[in-house]
Structure 1
Amino acid sequence: MAWIQKTLDTLDKLTILSQDSQYDLACACGSHAEDRRYRSTQDTWIYPVAMPYRRKKTFLFKTLLSNVCVNDCKYCPLRINQDPRRCTLTPEECVNVFFEYLRSGKVMGLFLSSGVIGTPDHTMERINTIAAMLRRKQFKGYIHLKVIPGASDAAIEEAVSLASAVSINIEAPGEQNFQTLCSSKQYLDDVIRPMKLIHQLTQKGSPYSHVKQTTQFVVGAANETDRELIQYVTGLYRRLHLQRVYFSAYQRGLGETDLPGEHNGVSNKDLLTREHRLYQVDWLLRKYGFQAEEIPLDRQGNLALNADPKEIWAQTHPERFPLNINTASKDDLLRVPGFGPLTVNKILTFRKTGRKIRNIWDLGKPNKRLEKAANYLIYS
């Protein structure tokens, strides 16, 4: 029987729930220190989140409402057959702590998730109650709510009505991979159906069109290939118009012994590198104009861990380079390794002045990314 302590105060609960939130590593490996999550002095997690259509970030207080869970997800240390220290925040505790952080200027929004307490709808009732309490107290800022797999249409619509963003974790690419991870949830009914409903509720012209939908894959637990992940990511963007897809590297040693990801010989370090490569691919698909079939994969359908996929693509397409930086199109410049959208826009703005770019350092101070790009450019 799980150990449930009933005498914990709010700070004790937050400490336990914060420690358990470490297993959700989405956005934990940004390229800059300010992009990474960090612990507050109260031992809780603060997450930086880029706001849609704005050139600024907000900081979210992220917590589990509860680490009690009835599901048997094999990759999760909080699954039903484990015996961690279990606890649950009351809605009042969660709201009071959030406002304390808000008043002190440490956070600007809330990211609320939870284990499954009894049933999906019972858990959603608690999650939605917290969001409703915040809205009644005139908090008009950012709230991200995790939708519990298997929740009813009514519970999902209520969450959408209260939130700035909602998400339900898809976890694996396809039903077969999903069922290797969990037998207590049904892929099509409990995950895909809610994702489609959220898409319908948030379509352009609807009362909730401002609400964004995201999802997350657990990478490496089911021995899925990167080809499978990329195909599903592309489909989610095209068909359900998700704002973002996130990736969380499975941490070997935390799951069931029969989990496929426990026996593939891949280190936790390599899994985190794989997560990073998948984020690079996500940017290529969303920001750089790449198609899924252009992403370089090995014969097994996986990304190389030792090199940026964009750089591998450039090296295998020598006919596209070198580019004349003074005449190349925006789309072509975005294909140059080391260039991102900001640098490309800077080039286009520079060219509008009528001046020529004569060397890479006209774009800024020396750095590794510009040095890399210089190998693919001419300046005539």
Structure 2
Amino acid sequence: YLDKLAQGKIFDICVDGVLGMQGKPPLRGDLPKLFQGINQYSHIRFRAAVDLPTGLSNEVDPATFLADFTYATGIAKAPLFRADARPYVGRIRYLDMGFFEDPVEMIVPEVLITESIMDPLRSLRSPISDKRDYGHLLVVTGSRQFPGALMMSVKAALQAGSGLLTACVPESLSAAFAASVPEAMWCPCSETPQGSLSIESCHNVLTLSERATAVLMGPGLGREPEATMLAADLVEKLPLPCVLDADALMPEVFEAMAKRSSSAGPIIVTPHAGEFKRISGVDVADQHTDALRDFSKKHGVITVLKGSVTRISDGEQVACSTFGGPVLARGGSGDLLAGILGTLLSQGGVSPFEVACRGVAWHGLAAEALARAQGQVAVTTTKVLPYMAQVLREPVHTDL
């Protein structure tokens, strides 16, 4: 149908704005044939939908427009975030059309994070500040089996502006890492025969924590029982704010969390769907908002549930981030995020929920800037880091 009409011509863009939220499947008349033809036509370089792809509302029509990007205006519509809609929606981009310049009182189950959350980091630092004003992050993680995860989280924390960073690592890694990243203070700790941090490290870490303002545990920690025992012991005993990622996201650690002092600092946990199932028993393939909120409330944590749409909850609020995209679909992306969150949490000054939202946005926006400059394929994970500075110098979404 469309092949005959277009005669093989190449189109730069196809914009779909035919039906919106009021359109109810099934599509009628000639619309199914039209959109099936558009979806099958291979000579369209870019496909964009406005608000919702035609054919998507509370249900999905088989002929729904297949968008590369959907540009949401006003209030982002709920169907965009459903798991069954993902193949049709593509990437979600929010366009601020100025509809809500004045405060509006609304009760909504979820809010969308916008790029303006980065504005506080775009202002000048105080001219009379010193390194102690920008947080002292204590990183307790790493193993001989997964040394790269530790290194990526440390590099990301430093790139995020950490004033001081102390890394407690297996002693066999310390010297080489200190030569590679001299900006961090590397503290060699006792290790197991397999190269993970041993339980004997606990006293050393507790002593070093007296000068720190936040702790990061998990990236590259490994799953040796002794390493898990150390993480659980530290979560229970350390009064500092914590970021827990990767191998620190174990049921034993959450059991220890319940014994934590009521005066201890907040905890941010950063699971992907598989890790969330491990610690909650809930399969959130569809990233169900209620499951996320209930888990966060039960454990008294801020949960960053990573995915193509990342959701953040403190047990009451839920915020969604659409920043990032497929360029982050590679090993180590979560280690970078953990380091960024660790630094922001160590600096204080704002709520841990805001810290989580800002860190996720910064990570995602830097990834988008990288993808624009170098593409999504022929890049490595740590290439994201230099673009963190670009995000602070200029908005990423200055055009479509």
TM-score (norm 1): 0.34
**TM-score if structure 2 supplies the norm length?**
0.33
